[in-house]
Amino acid sequence: LNPAMEQSISKLMTKILRHTPAQFGVSLNPEDGSCPIDVLLEAIQAQPKWAGITTEDIEQVVRNSEKQRFAIEGGRIRARYGHSHDRVQYTAGHPPAVLYHGTNKNALPSILLKGLEPMNRQYVHLSEGTGFATLAGSRRGELVILKIDTSRVKEAGIVFYYAGNEVWLADRVPADCCSVA
Ligand code: HQG
């Protein structure tokens, strides 16, 4: 697989594992959102363009994902974060005092008014470092990095979940817990 093919398969995998599994005849475990690698492989092979893809190709995409979007365990694969349709269960945890969220300048007024909302996903995505937040926020215009005061979020009764690789999730983040970094 060349990098362009990897990216294209990665996008297809996020579609299946985060958003519309049923559309591809895949059913995900309701708890962790996983399915057997073979099931994902068959769903991808069913796309005329990718009939020749192998398990090794999928493993390569997983290994080379700079954000570690996927996790493979015991013959099963799942998206680590980013789900829209099904609400995957995560273990609640205690994040560092400060987390970051990357967004864009146009969204800022609404965020400072209403706080961070999951929008089309199940959770708001936050990170321990600014690297991941920069990647996320640069996708839609002029980057703005927000600093999140996590103790204050917890005081509002909101729970944090750890998705691994420095990514934290929350149902929402009130506006008074966000400040421009
Ligand atoms: C914004 C990608 C107005 C929020 C990324 C974001 C990440 C508001 C957008 C991961 C708002 C939602 C998740 C409010 C939040 N008013 N705008 N009240 N509350 N927003 O894609 O965090 O490459 O659902 O700031 O890199 O950008 O796909 O969330 O701009 O890691 O693996 O609404 O997905 O990773 O956008 O991205 P998203 P996100 P992948």
Q: What is the Å distance from ligand 1's center to 148 Cα? A: 15
pLDDT band at 162 (very low <50, low <70, confident <90, very high): very high
Give the closest residue to 8 by CA, choosing from 46, 56, 44, 59.
44
Note the pLDDT of residue 181: 93
Two tokens, residue 109: 């007024």
Q: Ligand 1 pocket test: pick from 103, 108, 112, 148 the residue with the most ligand atoms within 8 Å of its Cβ.
A: 103
Note the pLDDT of residue 87: 87
* 66-75 contact pairs (CB < 8 A, 24+): 66/135, 67/132, 67/135, 67/165, 68/164, 68/165, 69/10, 69/13, 69/14, 70/13, 70/17, 71/164, 72/37, 73/34, 75/36, 75/37, 75/38
pLDDT band at 85 (very low <50, low <70, confident <90, very high): confident
136 lines ligand 1 (CB under 6 A): yes
pTM of the model: 0.94
103 lines ligand 1 (CB under 6 A): yes
176 lines ligand 1 (CB under 6 A): no
110 lines ligand 1 (CB under 6 A): yes
What is the per-residue pLDDT across 114-159, written as a single tens digit (0 to 9) for each?
999 999 999 999 999 999 999 999 999 999 999 999 999 999 999 9
Indicate the pairing of strand 35-36 with strand 124-127: unpaired
Quote the crossing angle between the two packed helices 55-64 and 3-14, to the nearest 10°. 90
Bridge partners for 143 per DSSP: 104
